[in-house]
Amino acid sequence: MSVSVRSVTAVMLVVAIYHFYIALTGVPEPMMVRPIHVSALIFLGFLLLPFRTPKTVEDGAEVAAHVPHWFDWVLAILGLVSAVYILNDYERLTLRLAYLDPLTTGDWVVGVVTIALIIELARRVVGLVLPVIIVAFGAFTLLGPYLPGFLSHQGAGAEKFLDHIFLTSTGVYGSLASLSLSIVFMFIAFGAFLQAAGGERLLSQIIISMTRGRKGGPGRPR
């Protein structure tokens, strides 16, 4: 087992334990737990979906070998910066007045980098369609006053836009992050554990044994 595989496996184990822990003890403040969840997914995403996937030959067929390159590691580590930044400056970020208090240089840098990482990871996962939609709607929001005809609107400034997307619980760390954290992750983890334990085969055998003697069910073995 390579160092990359061991590292990814260790991080996945830590992330799973963390999610089960907060599920048992209660979810902390949204802007404390959601950034950790999003950063963990960004970190794992860049390692599991490298920029270029080399091909290896197994049993005469080409199989994708998901081996992260050094720049994938750089992007993955940058994905953790947002959670570290928010937790390190949590008191200021929770006491500030959203849309009124000016953003610091750190807010700008970390916020822009985080949004760029999310867009790039979305491209790696689902292709160009979703990133293009994200960029288009972002441009529509920022360039509203400059658009012609019925497309023109008041729009929002870059500072207000970044404030909303990165430093509030209604942007990147909004309801979708909460849903992924509390429900989606648990269902996926439960399914993975059930499959690894042979639960899929057990359920199939139970269904076959229950329907074997019924019309329209699985045929009787000879």
Q: Does some domain include residue 215?
A: no
Q: Does some domain include residue 183?
A: no
Task: List per-residue pLDDT tens for the chain, 222 residues long.
Answer: 566 677 788 888 888 888 888 888 877 788 889 999 999 999 999 988 887 665 554 555 454 556 788 899 999 999 999 999 999 999 999 899 999 999 999 999 999 999 999 999 999 999 999 999 999 999 999 999 999 988 899 988 999 999 999 999 889 999 899 888 888 888 888 888 777 777 777 777 787 777 776 665 555 555
Q: Does some domain include residue 197?
A: no
What is the tally of structural domains in the chain?
1
pTM, whole model, 2 decimals?
Answer: 0.80
Q: Does some domain include residue 16?
A: yes
Helix (H, G, I), strand (E, B) or coil at 58: strand
CB neighbour list of residue 111: distance below 8 Å, 6 or more residues apart: 82, 103, 162, 165, 166, 167
Q: Does some domain include residue 154?
A: yes
**What pLDDT does 208 receive?**
78
Among candidate residues 165, 75, 77, 69, the one with its CA nearest the CA of residue 121: 75
State both tokens at 45: 């995403």
Q: Does some domain include residue 205?
A: no
Domain of 161, in residue numbers: 3-173
Residue 210: half-sphere exposure toward Cβ, Cα within 13 Å: 6
Q: Does some domain include residue 25?
A: yes
In this predicted model, what pLDDT tens digit does every residue of 53-101 receive, in sequence order?
655 545 554 545 567 888 999 999 999 999 999 999 999 998 999 999 9
**What pLDDT does 209 receive?**
78
What CA–CA distances, in Å, run from 217 to 9, 204, 211, 213, 214? 41, 13, 5, 7, 5
Q: Does some domain include residue 145?
A: yes
